[in-house]
Amino acid sequence: MKAMKILSCAMFVTMSIWLGCRGNDGATGPTGPAGKGGPKLTGSIVGYVYMLDSPGVIGSSSPFGVRVSLEGTPINALSDSSGRWELDNVTTGIYNVVLSKLGYGTMKIVSLQFVGGGIEYLDPAIFQTPVLTLLPSYFPEAIHAQVVDSTKIHLSGFLSSSGPTWRNVTIFLGLRSPLLTSPDAYSLVKSFFVLPDSLYFALDIQTSELTMARIFAAETVYVDAFGDNSAMVYPDPSTGKSWYPSLSTTGCFTSFIMP
């Protein structure tokens, strides 16, 4: 019994010393240096460009002299008579390739991931060969919106000139005042053809389409109309919508109240 009392006292003293000597947690040490990124390699990007002077007719003019550049860098080049272009001294990275020529709509190859260390030929199966479209000489000269009933809006107008071929009109609708061609501004886009030798155009829009585009009753809807020689577009990653680069430099607009 006496031995057990001595052992209990010894254990109590030991625990007391251990608890009394335990300190607070120390401060967290400094973070170690970040590891180095992968190597930056240098190489070339090679691709082609086509030209479109009228709807559906590709290659009717020479693709020579298209300015090709990497957005945000000084790297640029001109295409040759076959439409071939080459950008040299490109380092590893993700780029937007911009293709432009006076009188034509500007196109982009968006978010091209370049590994570097050699020559990368843009595979047409992955990157659609860009087509620069001649900007249209015609444009909508007037447009009118009529609320038919709670289910339908009737748009009609006139072009600045007629022609012997089909001509395309693209209309942007949204809740911001003109211009609505920016992907962060428009809510809905409608494209349609105008008959040859006709100035008049018309289009019916269902209010259900507008509701799906998050346009609701009693809101003011703005409408922008442009001539458009092509259905060629390129994506805007930040919105998931598209840019329409082949619009006429002149357009017209109207507005209506969503029924």
Supply 256's token pair: 């209506």
Cα 42 to Cα 206: distance, rounded to the nearest angstrom: 53
Amino acid, res. 203: L
Least confidently predicted of 64-73, 162-171, 203-212: 162-171
Instruction: Write out pLDDT tens, residues 112-148.
Output: 999 999 999 998 877 888 999 999 999 999 999 999 9
**CATH number of this structure's domain 140-257, picked from the four choices 1.10.15, 2.60.40, 3.30.530, 3.40.50:** 2.60.40
Q: What angle do CA 197, 202, 206 make, to 5 degrees?
A: 155
Q: Give residue 17's pLDDT.
A: 36
pLDDT tens digits for 222-248?
Answer: 999 999 988 789 999 999 999 999 999
| Predicted confidence (pLDDT) at residue 171 exceeds the cutoff of 90 | yes
Share of the chain above pLDDT 90, in %: 73
Instruction: Compute CA 187 distance to the chain's CA centroid, rounded to the nearest angstrom.
Output: 14
Residue of 235, 248, 250, 225 lying closest to 134 (CA atoms): 248
3-state secondary structure of 148: strand
Check: CATH 1.10.3430.10 for 42-133?
A: no
Give yes or no for residue 220 having a pLDDT over 50.
yes
Check residue 1 and give its pLDDT. Answer: 42
Q: Residue 60's pLDDT is what?
A: 72
User: Worst-scoring range by mean pLDDT, 14-28, 56-70, 108-122?
Assistant: 14-28
Kindly report, as residue ranges, where domains of CATH 2.60.40.4130 are found in the chain.
Answer: 42-133
For 206-236, b/e burial (b = at least 16 CB within 10 A) is ebeebeebebeeeeebbbbbbbbbbebbbee
Residues 6 or more apart in contact with residue 112 via CB below 8 angstroms: 45, 94, 95, 96, 97, 122, 127
Q: What is the pLDDT of residue 125?
A: 75
Confidence (pTM): 0.81
**Is the omega angle on the peptide bond into residue 179 within 30 degrees of 0, that is, cis?**
yes
- Closest CA relative to residue 194, chosen from 218, 159, 246: 159
Q: How confident is the model at residue 5 (pLDDT cuts 50, 70, 90)?
A: very low
